[in-house]
Amino acid sequence: METKNIGLRGIEVADTRISNIDGEKGRLIYRGFDILDLTKNSTFEETAYLLLYDSLPTKQELDEFNGKLIDARYIPKQMQKNMGNWRKDADPMDMLQAFVSALAGYYDEEFSNKDASYEKAINLIAKVPTIVASWHRIRNGLEPMDPDSSLSHAANFLYMMFGERPDPEVEKIFDTCLILHADHTFNASTFTARQVASTRAHMYSASSAAIGALSGELHGGANTEVMKMLLEIGELDKVEGWIKEKMNAGERIMGMGHAVYKTYDPRAQVLKELSRKLAEKTKEPWYDITEKVETTTISEMKSQKDKDIYPNVDLYSASLYYMLKIPMDLNTPIFAISRVVGWAAHIIEEKFAEAAPKPALYRPKATYVGKYCGPEGCEYQTLDLRK
């Protein structure tokens, strides 16, 4: 197999109208709109509508969409009761994957048509934050909070987590994070969602598979690993030694590098600025330490391998969430709260694309490099003859 095909790098497997990355220029586009314009002018709810329906909503469309999201925020009490049976130290991504899958058992009936898929998409986008916040409270021995219908998607999540309405500045920061993470073309979890959907499996099933893919440390799990790294480093003047030691040992620095961007990830730029502003407010050292991780990794990469490397979306989101008092192990579930929008849009596109070429069942080939005993195959020995 040619090396370039490993990991499907550079292979175009389908057409999409949903998002596009210009890895050379560092631009990310959702349905034609630059992500930087969306973070300046839009809300998470408007962005979710855009990603799902291919255009920005009118005022009336947005009100209707918001109303549906707000109505769908509740999860069954029985589900919250079941969460109480889990180990309190269970990984929140395992819990999220299981309960997203379980939604299919609580709801619905109809999965086959496009309208039903939009309903499932809204149900998922609305309920994933409630699942995450409920688990957070239950594992800490607290009663889950009911959603507050007067709050935005971002503010309601923080309210369900902490039991208090966030101040507007924090709400805005969190809303921006949700916009930035909502879609990113054929990343590992979205491709997983599309691959599962290509078999005609339903929205909950494809989304729970995507959550599994997101949990890995080379994908969404990297932000939790970044925060562990920052805590281990602990102080600004220890950064250089720590990074050099790891890179000399051939280890990867979490939050750095990207399979597609060959320049600064535009999401990392926005998150960097938000993290800087928040650190000014909280007087915590995490922004400064993260920035030093960035500059040291860049210079070490240059001197060790003569290659360029840039921060990815996870580098500055880690310190940002930490300063928002979000427990470290919820960083990746929070990524899922936002990315579920992209997964849903891609699942719908995968299943119901109208324009040719229509997506097909994914079925790549592999090069067999296993045991070979000749053209007739290996001689089978019964169990009693095997040594």
Active-site residue numbers? 219, 258, 314
Q: Are 91 and 385 in contact (CB under 8 A)?
A: no
Q: N- to C-terminal Cα distance for the chain? A: 34
Taking the complex as a whole, how short is the minimal distance between the CB of residue 258 and ligand ACO, in angstroms?
Answer: 5
Task: Tell me whether residue 49 or residue 287 sits nearer to ligand ACO (CB atom).
Answer: 287
Taking the complex as a whole, how short is the minimal distance between the CB of residue 162 and ligand ACO, in angstroms?
Answer: 25
Among 219, 272, 346, 351, binds ligand ACO (CB under 6 A): 219
Q: Report the SS3 class of residue 30.
A: strand
Amino acid identity of residue 74, one-letter, is Y
55: Cα within 13 Å, side-chain hemisphere: 4
Sign of the four-CA dihedral 166, 169, 173, 176: positive
Q: How far is Cα of residue 165 from the mean position of the Cα atoms in its chain?
A: 24
How far lies 387's CA from each of 372, 377, 379, 380, in Å?
19, 20, 14, 13
Among 110, 146, 167, 218, binds ligand ACO (CB under 6 A): 218
**262 touches ligand ACO (CB under 6 A):** no
Q: Which residue is nearest to ligand ACO (CB)?
A: 257
x-or-dash string of contact with ligand ACO, 309-338, rule CB under 6 A: x--xxx------------------------
Q: State which of positions 21-40 bind ligand ACO (CB under 6 A).
A: none
Taking the complex as a whole, how short is the minimal distance between the CB of residue 173 and ligand ACO, in angstroms?
Answer: 19
Task: Tell me whether residue 180 or residue 344 sits nearer to ligand ACO (CB atom).
Answer: 180
Length, in residues, of the chain: 387
- The maximal CA–CA distance of the chain, rounded, in angstroms, is 75
Taking the complex as a whole, how short is the minimal distance between the CB of residue 276 and ligand ACO, in angstroms?
Answer: 20
Q: Which stretch binds ligand ACO (CB under 6 A): 26-34, 63-71, 212-220, 368-376?
A: 212-220
Closest among 311, 270, 373 to 40, alpha carbons compared: 270
x-or-dash string of contact with ligand ACO, 277-316, rule CB under 6 A: ----------------------------x-x-x--xxx--
Cα 176 to Cα 36: distance, rounded to the nearest angstrom: 10
β-bridge partners, 20: 29
Task: Tell me whether residue 166 or residue 257 sits nearer to ligand ACO (CB atom).
Answer: 257
Among 222, 229, 274, 336, binds ligand ACO (CB under 6 A): 222
Task: Tell me whether residue 314 or residue 349 sits nearer to ligand ACO (CB atom).
Answer: 314
Size of the site for ligand ACO (CB under 6 A): 20
Taking the complex as a whole, how short is the minimal distance between the CB of residue 250 and ligand ACO, in angstroms?
Answer: 7
β-bridge partners, 256: 311
Q: Are 205 and 111 in contact (CB under 8 A)?
A: no
Residue 232 contacts by C-beta under 8 Å, 6 or more apart in sequence? 242
Q: Which stretch binds ligand ACO (CB under 6 A): 111-119, 149-157, 215-223, 347-355?
A: 215-223
x-or-dash string of contact with ligand ACO, 242-261, rule CB under 6 A: -----x----xxxxxxxx--
The DSSP secondary-structure symbol of 256 reads B
Taking the complex as a whole, how short is the minimal distance between the CB of residue 295 and ligand ACO, in angstroms?
Answer: 14
How far lies 16's CA from each of 150, 167, 184, in Å?
35, 38, 11
Taking the complex as a whole, how short is the minimal distance between the CB of residue 375 and ligand ACO, in angstroms?
Answer: 37
Cα 100 to Cα 203: distance, rounded to the nearest angstrom: 10
Residues that bind ligand ACO (CB under 6 A): 187, 218-220, 222, 247, 252-259, 305, 307, 309, 312-314
